[in-house]
Structure 1
Amino acid sequence: MNDPDPHDVELAADLRSIVSDYPYCDPAATLDDCAERLAGDPHGDERGGLVIILNATCWYASSGRIGSGKVLQRMTEALVAARSGLPDLDDAAACEHPHPDFGNALEHAVTVGAYLLSPGGRAAYEQDEDERFMDDTPLKVWLCPAFLGQLADEAIGQLRSGYEDLFGERETGHLDARYVRPEDGRVDFPALTRAIVQRWRSDQESAEAGLWAARRWIAGEGAADDRLGLYLAMCACVFAWHEGMPTTFFRELEAAVRTVDLTPLDAPCAHDGETHPWAAAHHAGGVDGTITALNATYAADEFDAPGGPFTLGQWTCPKQAAELAQQAISDFADWRHMRGDDGDDEDWG
């Protein structure tokens, strides 16, 4: 029989959509199913195809596009189980044939991988009667144990690194030396906000600065007058990450924002009729305007607030705080939706 399993043909189409970054399936569920198949029989006939599939898709899983850390862990565990029955690298070097190098041809790789999952699919690949593959690489080379061992090692390394980047714990205590002025113990807001908004310099520094602000705000550390700035800096960090930040940062920022009271949204404020400082500064100068206005609150001799000046009472308006929290919560919901994250923290990492 030279026909692949119809389910594997469908799987190939789903995998092609994932690696082309236009998934029309649920990527987390699809990759989790592949990991489960491999873990269920790590040395069986499906091993070769599944190792190829998990290698070709590991970049997607570790990119932050999937909200669940459990998927990365299960992919890693399945590959480790499969790797235990494959040769070491020293043995791989002794192969008499060159190994396939699919490079960026990931759609081809996942299609081959899916077809290798069944006897009919393997026969269809070898005969290639409909010229689907246009690949003269012998089947035994795709299934070479040394080649599969190399693929498993590559994927395990990338998945572990990706998991740590996305879901690992983050230390921020060392940032006190960067963002707290030694002479008076107050927050250096120009330094903090610069790190948050200048993502082109360092995404990592931006996310860490936002997380530091959130932790300090929740803990009530430092001068009471700094709490406003910490909250605004935290919100600025959320808004700076349009596409969503790594989950290890996102989950703590969301938890902090969700402590804000939203009931003032339905009530008038003392300065009703006036535009709140955040919105006024943004209207006058965009993102840079809001950050400059925030900095002017703490360093008026260095900064002029676009759209201002603003009083401390305007900045501390509970309705403005609730409006910013509402916008941030909406952003969090969008990030979750993009990643297929149902909000179950138990499945994050």
Structure 2
Amino acid sequence: MTEQTPTMPADHRELISDLSGIVCDYPNGDPEDSLSILAYDAREVLDHVDTPEGRRERAGYTVLLHATCWYVAARLFSKAMYTSYTKALEGFRATLDPANCTCPDGSHPKDGDPEYSVGVGVSLLTEAGRAEFVEDYGIDDEELAAYDCEGFLADLADEAAARIREAYEENFGDIDVSHLDARYVRDGGGIDVVALQKAVRHSSEGNTGPVALWSARRWLSGQVRDEDRLGLFLSLWMGIDQSYAGLPPSYARDMAAAVDTIGLEVSCDHQRHPWSTAEKTVESRYRAVIHLYAPEDHPDTPVPADLASRERWECPVQYAELARSAKKNLEGWRVMRGGGEEDWEV
């Protein structure tokens, strides 16, 4: 860098470091706080967007919101965050007219990786940052001007806003799993617990969340035969336990409601219960449940014979133990993914 080139403000360098950690999925601090501030600062630009400074900042913040929107969509469960991003993006979009684009075809900046885009976005906020960006990357005035193009920025704002809207529905909306009735409800109204377990077992296929949600809703509907209650609840429990990265409120609400139906103030004379004897692996628990529901087809079980009576399996204390651990996992999702009580309310 030459001595004549202005230097980027120190706080902007910190912003690059902070946002780079977030988009690389290794945040340095609380990403919800950092991204809330980013969206707030972006909305503040709308008050002076018709000034040269405001137009520079509009370009920078549009790039930054676009670069970080995937993290909001995939990692954070705060309705306020989604609203803040949407207001900023829609506010910018209202000031942009793609018809003003005079760029040659194909000359708009290509969509780079989010970490690179973070550096570009922060650089665009100030004249000093732009000068440093030009020198570091050897771009010409025409290439720099393309970042201010209203057509380019409108496309970024539209894409980011669409992603936020779609994620909002996925994370907070009503997930339809009614199509699973045909797969797991037998003729006559019984539940195919073995089929449920096979689906939960293959978590890599994306079955776990939908199957656990279906189990929760079936439980809450009351359309469960007595002989199927245990298998259905264990399928719900396993779905919660195996969702290691947590599921959004659109799933967690009904799961929490189902778990809350279990009474916790219970006691028994049993020293141990069947579930506690299965190893804490998906395979071991799977074998325990399918043996319980189809012993002739699946004779192998990790549960000792002296603990395998249906009476022990159905013990209210075992249900309570399962419910407590499920509640702990559900609370862990809240802590891990952020948001307030209102975002996770049942």
SS at match of 2:250: helix
Deviations 1:285-329 (A, max 9, x none): x32221222222222332223324411111112222222222222
TM-score normalised by length of structure 2: 0.85
CA deviation after TM superposition for structure 1 residue 198, in Å: 1.0
Alpha carbons of 1:137 and 1:58: their partners in 2 closer, same or farther (altered >3 Å)? farther
Aligned mate of 1:82, from 92, 96, 112: 92
User: Partner letter of residue 315 of structure 2?
Assistant: C
CA deviation after TM superposition for structure 1 residue 102, in Å: 4.5
Q: Is the 8 A contact 2:100 2:150 kept in 1?
A: no
CA deviation after TM superposition for structure 1 residue 59, in Å: 1.1
Deviations 1:69-92 (A, max 9, x none): 33123212321221122123x664
Please give the alpha-carbon distance, in whole angstroms, between the structure 2 residues aligned to 1:270 and 1:127. Answer: 74
Deviations 1:67-121 (A, max 9, x none): 2133123212321221122123x664x51382222521x223212322333xxx3
SS at match of 1:200: helix
CA deviation after TM superposition for structure 1 residue 18, in Å: 0.7
Alpha carbons of 1:171 and 1:347: their partners in 2 closer, same or farther (altered >3 Å)? closer
Does residue 95 in structure 1 map to residue 103 in structure 2? yes
Does residue 38 in structure 1 map to residue 42 in structure 2? yes
Please give the alpha-carbon distance, in whole angstroms, between the structure 2 residues aligned to 1:246 and 1:172. Answer: 15
CA deviation after TM superposition for structure 1 residue 137, in Å: 5.2
Q: Is the 8 A contact 2:216 2:255 kept in 1?
A: yes
Does residue 172 in structure 1 map to residue 167 in structure 2? no
Alpha carbons of 1:242 and 1:302: their partners in 2 closer, same or farther (altered >3 Å)? same
Aligned mate of 2:117, from 109, 116, 123: 109
Aligned mate of 2:295, from 277, 286, 300: 300
Q: Is the 8 A contact 2:175 2:250 kept in 1?
A: yes
Does residue 54 in structure 1 map to residue 65 in structure 2? yes
Aligned mate of 1:143, from 120, 140, 148: 148
CA-based RMSD of the aligned residues comes to: 2.6
Please give the alpha-carbon distance, in whole angstroms, between the structure 2 residues aligned to 1:301 and 1:69. Answer: 49
Alpha carbons of 1:135 and 1:83: their partners in 2 closer, same or farther (altered >3 Å)? farther
Alignment partner, residue 189 of structure 1: 193
Q: Is the 8 A contact 1:67 1:348 kept in 2?
A: no
Identity in percent:
35
Alignment partner, residue 163 of structure 1: 168
Runs (4+) off by over 6 Å = none
Aligned mate of 2:137, from 134, 138, 149: 134
User: Partner letter of residue 162 of structure 2?
Assistant: G
Alpha carbons of 1:137 and 1:319: their partners in 2 closer, same or farther (altered >3 Å)? farther
SS at match of 2:204: coil
Please give the alpha-carbon distance, in whole angstroms, between the structure 2 residues aligned to 1:127 and 1:221. Answer: 65
User: Partner letter of residue 269 of structure 2?
Assistant: A
Q: Is the 8 A contact 1:79 1:152 kept in 2?
A: yes
Does residue 232 in structure 1 map to residue 234 in structure 2? yes
Alpha carbons of 1:137 and 1:149: their partners in 2 closer, same or farther (altered >3 Å)? farther
Alpha carbons of 1:316 and 1:244: their partners in 2 closer, same or farther (altered >3 Å)? same
User: Partner letter of residue 198 of structure 1?
Assistant: H
Please give the alpha-carbon distance, in whole angstroms, between the structure 1 residues aligned to 2:44 and 2:257. Answer: 37
Aligned mate of 2:216, from 214, 232, 254: 214
Aligned mate of 2:258, from 256, 259, 278: 256
Alignment partner, residue 125 of structure 1: 130
CA deviation after TM superposition for structure 1 residue 6, in Å: 4.5
Please give the alpha-carbon distance, in whole angstroms, between the structure 1 residues aligned to 2:138 and 2:157. Answer: 22
Alpha carbons of 1:287 and 1:346: their partners in 2 closer, same or farther (altered >3 Å)? closer
User: Partner letter of residue 167 of structure 2?
Assistant: G
Alpha carbons of 1:47 and 1:128: their partners in 2 closer, same or farther (altered >3 Å)? closer
Alignment partner, residue 318 of structure 2: 320
Please give the alpha-carbon distance, in whole angstroms, between the structure 2 residues aligned to 1:337 and 1:308. Answer: 37
CA deviation after TM superposition for structure 1 residue 127, in Å: 4.5
Deviations 1:48-79 (A, max 9, x none): 1110000001111111x112133123212321
SS at match of 1:62: helix
Gaps of 5+ in 2: none
SS at match of 1:211: helix
Does residue 10 in structure 1 map to residue 14 in structure 2? yes
TM-score normalised by length of structure 1: 0.84
SS at match of 2:39: helix
Does residue 198 in structure 1 map to residue 202 in structure 2? yes
User: Partner letter of residue 100 of structure 1?
Assistant: P
Deviations 1:8-34 (A, max 9, x none): 343222211111211112222222222
